[in-house]
Structure 1
């Protein structure tokens, strides 16, 4: 039986810390019509999903958490508990789809069964239909989840933008530093020196990162409506922008796609604060930014491989170009400060401790009201080309992140073919303006695009 890692199990503990939280991640594929026969479609989806053993397994826990939870085969597995059919009310517009998605995502998955659901949704406008996949975060991170979702398509995953992330390009063998060691004794001295220097530099960088992360978590953010206790009900919306347009902005200003995405989020949150009658301050939007540490050789592993950064997004600035330059500077600083290395090292270190100690510690920490982080923004690379399901083209893919730990909004950024899509989930009562947040993101990208064209 395969055990859950400390990080995987931590998502279960975080969910248990708040009865209003569901730590499932989701994705909606909107597909051109007509919709195939439901029975044949369900059979096809089931065949592709069940090729992954995790979708037939349940989490088995131990008394008093004396051992880590384990993945075990579900002896009573019943597909009808996992694949469902639904229809949107007329006119089947985006708002109807978003409301349905929010309703599905706010409900917790049943821990007595494998932790996933698939909803086949008909009745979308223009003859379209959709597939909503929902899995628990303890199974996989964003990149692994996208790999699972892509497995539903006719051609499998295909080429994705995941190969461009920093971790994927890292060819270092993290499983052992002595693979391929030289047999020449003359090389040993220099090799030992380089290893010692590398370890020392990495340790120094990680310590600096720990200080940065700890400070970010302990220093309270400026009080605002963006953080606080969660209710059960959720709201969802999405924003879409042209990836070519974003790429042009990157080339003109010398920044990354992630910089542009986080700037658009910054400007939209600033507008939200002003709209709510609140003053945007320097410490109003400290953001949890998950960072993948998944290399290409681990692309098909179904688990969580992430570290974190905690940048302060510059909502205090009212000019979107100034915001972009500041986001780029702060992200560069965060990367150089060792936050990514610190998060990874911390997870690795915790994994070496006895599981009862880590389980009890995580349970205690997740029950404390954290006040340093205000939102989460995660960037998930998707397929480079448009996918097909049973011969029908997938027109768009909408990501759905979870929220927890006093974070009232969460944003997942997904690149799919020629689009960059922002999926926004929020506490329904605390953030009723979720649609305005989405429109604010689109408007910010449009303003950056106009500024880039003016410079060019």
Structure 2
């Protein structure tokens, strides 16, 4: 019997705490036509997706949360409940697709069935069609979900940008007692090295816990970016050239993640000014998930993330100053212990009775949090273009969830030669998500223009292009 771990179950508790929230994540693949027949698509998708055990299982919960929810095979699985057909009204442009995506994502998945849906969408302009995959966050984080959803493609995801993230090159550090030896000097030396390692790791994690707790408890500057949510959503997306992003990285010695967050910073600054609000240094404390998934765990269906809580520098008007500030703040956060603190918290929670952790998470997520303002999550996608039944996936667009009184959220996904941004917002509180998306594109264009001159005048050494922490 496979049980949900504390982090996975936390997404269910967070969803339960607000009836206006749907904690599903998703992605839209836009394909070049013509679209195959729906029956042939159902047959193909059915055969490929159901190879993932989670897509054939339902959650069983324990009365009064006396035990963690666990997965059981669905004996009554009906694929027609999960693979569905839709058609966009004319002209089938990007705006129509975005409106339809928002409507699909705002609806909660039925917990009486396996927690996923696959929508085949006809009627896109330029002889295109699309597939939307929607999975509950309790099943997987972004990297795991991308790996799962790639199964519908002809050759899977193949090589992905996930191999670039830090966790893929780090083995989980396990503290071991020194080996027994007859030489007392060697044993004492080994014990000393172990104790120093434990002390250093504990001190770093404690520092990270302090910073995360401070970020959650310290209210951000008051703005229209946080507050109650409705059940309706808006969605927008934009793509930028990976070549341009890489040129910016080379020009300023920063990472892809730095560039993405700097572009997001500039667009949020413009949004606040457009709304008549003055950007403050603490106006945009951002929840940035950081993968702790090792390379050999890419096919594990669970959540393996920690968090960082940097304040993005919306108070700065100059795009280069924004980029440099983002780079410095993320570098500090990475070495501060925030990443380790999140992992240690999840591990420690496993030792606490599940009923207590469930009650605690539900209580905390019902409180009006004012420390975090938005979400920015970077999901590494496939390096090469994908195909489904021989049709090329020309665009791959990520869809983040909304919760915890955050009125907007942004997911970033690398795919082949593009970096895509998917922006979701509350329908009433964030009517300008289109401007937020287009502002990201303009910010990258500005940085590209500036970096061209900077690259010619500044010598740059070995650069890191690592994503996602």
Q: TM-score range by the shorter chain?
A: over 0.9
What pairs up with 1:44-443 in 2 under 5 angstroms? 44-172=44-172, 174=174, 177=176, 187-443=186-442
Q: Do the aligned partners of 2:20 and 2:229 also contact (CA within 8 Å) in 1?
A: yes
Shift of 1:184: 8.0
Number of equivalenced pairs:
454
Counterpart secondary structure, 1:85: strand
Consecutive unaligned residues in structure 2, runs of 5 or more: 457-469
**What is the rounded CA distance, in whole Å, between the counterparts of 2:392 and 2:187 in structure 1?**
56
Tell me which moved more, 288-297 or 69-78. 69-78
**What is the rounded CA distance, in whole Å, between the counterparts of 1:163 and 1:315 in structure 2?**
31
Counterpart secondary structure, 1:397: strand
Deviation per residue, 1:172-203 (Å, 9 max, x gap): 454x7479x68785754433222211111110
Counterpart secondary structure, 1:321: helix
- Relative to the length of structure 1, the TM-score reads 0.98
Counterpart secondary structure, 1:123: strand
Shift of 1:100: 0.5
Counterpart secondary structure, 1:410: strand
Counterpart secondary structure, 1:311: coil
**What is the rounded CA distance, in whole Å, between the counterparts of 1:264 and 1:214 in structure 2?**
27
Deviation per residue, 1:81-103 (Å, 9 max, x gap): 10000000111101111110000
**What is the rounded CA distance, in whole Å, between the counterparts of 1:157 and 1:442 in structure 2?**
26
**What is the rounded CA distance, in whole Å, between the counterparts of 2:23 and 2:242 in structure 1?**
29
Counterpart secondary structure, 1:134: strand
After superposing on structure 2, the runs of 4+ consecutive aligned residues of structure 1 that deviate more than 4 Å are 181-187
**What is the rounded CA distance, in whole Å, between the counterparts of 1:351 and 1:302 in structure 2?**
18
C-alpha spacing 1:184/1:415, structure 2 compared with 1 (3 Å): farther
- Relative to the length of structure 2, the TM-score reads 0.95
**What is the rounded CA distance, in whole Å, between the counterparts of 1:256 and 1:266 in structure 2?**
15
Counterpart secondary structure, 1:140: coil
Consecutive unaligned residues in structure 1, runs of 5 or more: none
**What is the rounded CA distance, in whole Å, between the counterparts of 1:12 and 1:184 in structure 2?**
53
Shift of 1:368: 0.5
Counterpart position of 1:13: 13
Counterpart position of 2:462: none
C-alpha spacing 1:198/1:133, structure 2 compared with 1 (3 Å): same
Counterpart position of 1:43: 43
C-alpha spacing 1:313/1:8, structure 2 compared with 1 (3 Å): same
Counterpart secondary structure, 2:152: coil
Counterpart position of 2:451: 452
Deviation per residue, 1:44-72 (Å, 9 max, x gap): 00111100110011110011000100001
Shift of 1:281: 0.5
